[in-house]
Chains A and B, each alone.
Chain A
Amino acid sequence: MSELLSFTGAQAAARIRAGDISAAELFDAYRERAAADDLNAFLWVADAQDEHANAAGPLAAVPLAVKDLFCVEGVPSMAGSRILAGYRPPYTSTAVANLRAAGAAVLGKTNMDEFAMGSSNENSGYGPVLNPWDRSRVPGGSSGGSAAAVAAGLAPWAIGTDTGGSIRQPASLCGVVGLKPTYGAVSRYGMIAFASSLDQAGPLTRDVTDAALLLRHMSGRDSCDSTSIGYPDEIELPTTDRLDGMVFGVPPELSAEGIEPGVREVFEANLTTIEELGGRLEQVSLPHSPHGISAYYVIAPAEASANLARYDGVRFGHRSDSYDGLTELYEATRAEGFGTEVKRRIMLGTFALSSGYYEAYYGRAQKVRTKIADDFRSAFERVDLIVTPTSPSVAFPLGAKTSDPLAMYMNDYCTVPMPLAGIPAISIPSGISEGLPVGLQLAGPAFSENKILNAAYALEQVLGFEGIPVAA
């Protein structure tokens, strides 16, 4: 691999600003690599430098891989769905616009589970992404294309979205850094919606510094998204190499049962590293977190069933060729355009919201959500951050879980409680099991990103994990 491709995003930006490398040369190197992608990580690759990029900005026209569900004006934005095949939106999402304003150049759109519904990328309408560590395995999902592209060096960095773990879980399975910010930190305007009370955009990067840099420039209050807040303080680039004085909570509910032995072993070693760096460990209880999957798989499908009502073959996207009358137009278009998992979730969601079942499902799930948020609140009275494995397993073989939706949902076991509570969490590469990467998750109270990034950075210096697999 040429030296050009070995730089992190921040390193490349610094070299471009110093005049050591040229932005055009860097873009071409990645463009060529992304266009030759044999992991199916990209659904679209730019054929020329992004005209909105700005080499004088802090991101110095460094190429950026963008998950397919971010609308980019004039660029295919399909959310991994056949129902949006060929759709080129008339506007650009705020997250991408903010990054471009800081200088970033859009390199391509990355493959994903259809409408971000999935944990393996096997639900993409455009075929699965392969894990660069082992091409017979999944990259995780739903931001699997972004994670695989960063891991394989097809892009210096990427953005994705996380609803129940869709940034952190693929980051873990591909051995890269993935950060889900506090709900409201990044505008959702122009993000093709899955579950609006949970969806949050964030970075997938080779290291923690890059995650901080992208987050700094993508976040902010946006008048187009009334739930966006931005940060009270600026996101700082992390510098700490010690954890002295910090208390890390270890919840047995998310770190023992259901976690495969190899992952648990790496996690135990990570806890020792935390202590070696001066951090203190304390057991905390999150008694309602085991019910996170249940609450999530009511709330997210319920919101999705409403959000996806707009795909009816009238204003944009696919329209069936054969229909008789308006009702059949809707039915045929949706039957042809949506994949199986999307249909499954629309049915779950409409059922959970239906008269007579609303209280038993949606109403109770919202109460469980309150209890999960309360558990975190009490824990954060005693500890600074909570640590868990990111994913219960390493990357699994393609097809291993496709016939059992519930088994697939359990991949999100350690990652769903955080979005239900709206709090931020990062996954960093923390070790190897069976030759595959394992991720460590650090979660903190709302708007504690600077603290999370600093702790993750300190751990990263010791864990010393190479972001790019040998296979690439």
Chain B
Amino acid sequence: MSSELSGILDHIEKINELDLDDVAPTSHVVTLENVLRPDEPRPSWPRERVLEAAPDAGDGGFRVPSPGG
């Protein structure tokens, strides 16, 4: 995979030919002001419902090996 990635990066590096010094970067294409909504409490999904999809659930949570272990 490393030769494939090098080939892709070589292609990507063609953007180095461009003069981009005074160009502002774009992270979002649509001009939106801050989008605000009232901070109103809403019910969350029931815990059992969310845990249904977990590979290993127990004691009302997601069971994982101890991070310290």
Contacts and interface: CB of A to CB of B under 8 A. Distances in A.
Q: Do A and B bind each other?
A: yes
Contact of A367 (B20, B37, B45): B20
B64 A329 contact: yes
A184 to B, nearest CB: 5
Interface in A289-340: 291, 293-295, 297-298, 313-319, 323-326, 329, 340
Interface residues on A, range: 35 or more
A370 B23 contact: yes
Interface residues of B, number: 39
A318 B32 contact: no
Interface stretch (A159-167, A221-229, A245-253): A221-229
B11 A294 contact: yes
Nearest to B38: A223
A89 B53 contact: yes
Contact of A291 (B18, B32, B45): B18
B12 A183 contact: no
B63 to A, nearest CB: 9
Nearest to B10: A406
Contact of B25 (A90, A183, A366): A366
A314 B53 CA distance: 10
26 contacts: A89-B53, A90-B52, A182-B30, A197-B27, A227-B32, A294-B12, A297-B11, A298-B12, A314-B54, A314-B62, A324-B65, A325-B66, A326-B65, A326-B67, A329-B65, A340-B1, A344-B1, A361-B12, A364-B20, A365-B12, A365-B15, A367-B25, A368-B15, A369-B26, A371-B23, A373-B29
Given A314-B55, A366-B25, 14 more contacts: A91-B45, A197-B27, A288-B18, A291-B18, A314-B54, A314-B62, A316-B54, A326-B65, A344-B4, A368-B18, A370-B25, A371-B20, A405-B7, A421-B29
